[in-house]
Structure formats: structure tokens, C-alpha cells
Amino acid sequence: AQTVTQSQPEMSVQEAETVTLSCTYDTSESNYYLFWYKQPPSRQMILVIRQEAYKQQNATENRFSVNFQKAAKSFSLKISDSQLGDTAMYFCAFLLTGANNLFFGTGTRLTVIP
Amino acid sequence: KAGVTQTPRYLIKTRGQQVTLSCSPISGHRSVSWYQQTPGQGLQFLFEYFSETQRNKGNFPGRFSGRQFSNSRSEMNVSTLELGDSALYLCASSLLGSILGDNEQFFGPGTRLTVL
């Protein structure tokens, strides 16, 4: 079975600063994908960034980047130059290759302070 | 292109009743997945439909069921509602039912179900 753990229920960061959200996962499989989703208050969940497990290079999307450590089963999200619009719940998610059911962590509530 | 839509957005039911939720995927998407989101259990996968067939099912009792129509719209039904069924029910659509390359899952706004 796959499990995803987010150990930081809540975090806050000053506007324009950098923050890192942690995620660890457990699986015996070698082919999978990892995702970070953002769920703003009362708004739809959107994909922030994805990482294919077979790629060694860490994914980057503008201000968002990941630190993927496959051996350690760690997948952290770094948000640079934090903006007020980054305030949201962030979910780490795992997907086995070929499957379509995401396994989610419990989420980290991030608040960006002006 | 319109996003994933879910109806109704809010629903209040009493224990023992049944409920049907609807999800319209993005035009052209053939896969619809359903998730339950609660404060205690987080986000949990319910089931996935692709081309009118259930391909995958999570660990939920048989009171939770679903179906998909030929136009890819999907419904989920919960019978004999319990207080613990109160949750935000999210559906997500993807083009081919496999998150590879650009076939990411797009989520709807959810249906907030309250069971009294």
C-alpha cells in the first residue's frame, strides 16, 4: 500500500520570503509520479507541480520547485518569493504509473503574511 | 474550454436518505474520478470511471456507487446516509484516464454534503 505523510499541518511565511513544505511517502514500487496540489480557500484544487520518479532532475514551475530524494522517499516543495495568493492548503499526492487513483497526504495549510 | 462542473454545490440530507451527485468533465475528457474530503480522513479515492466502465475502486462500503454516461458525465450515489458521510465530494477529469505527460487530473469545485 502507498502512504503519503505531510508532517507540517500549518505553516506561515512572510510575503516575498521562501518556504519549504515537506512530504514523505512510502511505496515498494519503482515507477510512480508525485504531485503537489494547491487548494485555496473555497476554491478548486489545482496542480502546482509534478515529478516523474524516473527523472533525477527536480521539477520547476516558475516560483515553485521540488526537492525529490527517491532513496529517502522525500518530496518537498519550495515556494520562492511567496505571494498573498499562495495562501492555501497544499497537498502532496502519489500516483502509481498506469493507475488513476491519487493517494493524498493530510495537507499543509500555508498562510502568507503581508 | 469550460472546467469540471459539479452539481449541486451544497446539499443537506438526513440520516437514512440517499443522495446523487453529478459531475460534468471537461469536454473531451473520458475519465472521471471521485474523491471524498473530510477533516479527519483527508482526501480519499472513491472510484474512477473510464468510457462508462468502473476501472478502479477505493475502500468504501457498497453504499457508495457511481456510473458514467456515454457523454462522460458521471454520477455518484450514496444510499442510507450516515453522519460520517458529511464531506466535500470532489470529482476530477482527465483526458485518457492516466496521468502521464499532459493528462493531468482537473478537479471540480466539489459538492459539500451535510448529513443531519
Q: CA-CA distance, B107 to B35, in Å (whole number)? A: 10
Q: CA-CA distance, A40 to A85, in Å (whole number)? A: 8
Confidence of residue B100 (pLDDT cuts 50, 70, 90): low
Q: CA-CA distance, A86 to A18, in Å (whole number)? A: 11
Q: CA-CA distance, B110 to B116, in Å (whole number)? A: 19
- A112 in Cβ contact with A82 (< 8 Å): yes
Using a CB-CB distance cutoff of 8 angstroms, which residues of chain B are in contact with residue A101?
33, 45, 48, 56, 58
**Residue with the three cell numbers 462500503:** B61
What is the residue-level pLDDT of chain A in tens, covering all 114 positions?
A: 789 999 999 999 999 999 999 999 999 998 899 999 999 987 889 999 999 998 889 999 999 999 999 999 999 999 999 999 999 999 999 988 777 788 999 999 999 999
Q: What's the pLDDT at A100?
A: 76
User: Which position has the higher pLDDT, B23 or B98?
Assistant: B23
Cis amide prior to B8 (ω within 30 degrees): yes
All three cell numbers of B98, joined, read 492516466
E strand or H helix that includes residue A93: strand A88-96
**Residue with the three cell numbers 485518457:** B96
Nearest CA in chain B to A94: B99
Lowest mean pLDDT among A50-54, B21-25, B76-80, B103-107: B103-107
Q: CA-CA distance, B33 to A99, in Å (whole number)? A: 11
Considering chain B, what percentage of its residues have pLDDT values greater than 90? 77
Q: What's the pLDDT at A2?
A: 85
Using a CB-CB distance cutoff of 8 angstroms, which residues of chain B are in contact with residue A47?
104-105
* pLDDT exceeds cutoff 70 at B97: no
What residues does A13 pair with on adjacent strands? A112
- A38 in Cβ contact with A61 (< 8 Å): no
Judge: A102–B43 Cβ closer than 8 Å, yes or no: yes
How many other CB atoms are found less than 10 A from the CB of residue B39? 10
Confidence of residue B98 (pLDDT cuts 50, 70, 90): low
Average pLDDT along chain B: 91
Question: A75 touching B, CB under 8 A?
Answer: no
What is the nearest CA distance from B107 to chain A, expressed in angstroms?
Answer: 6
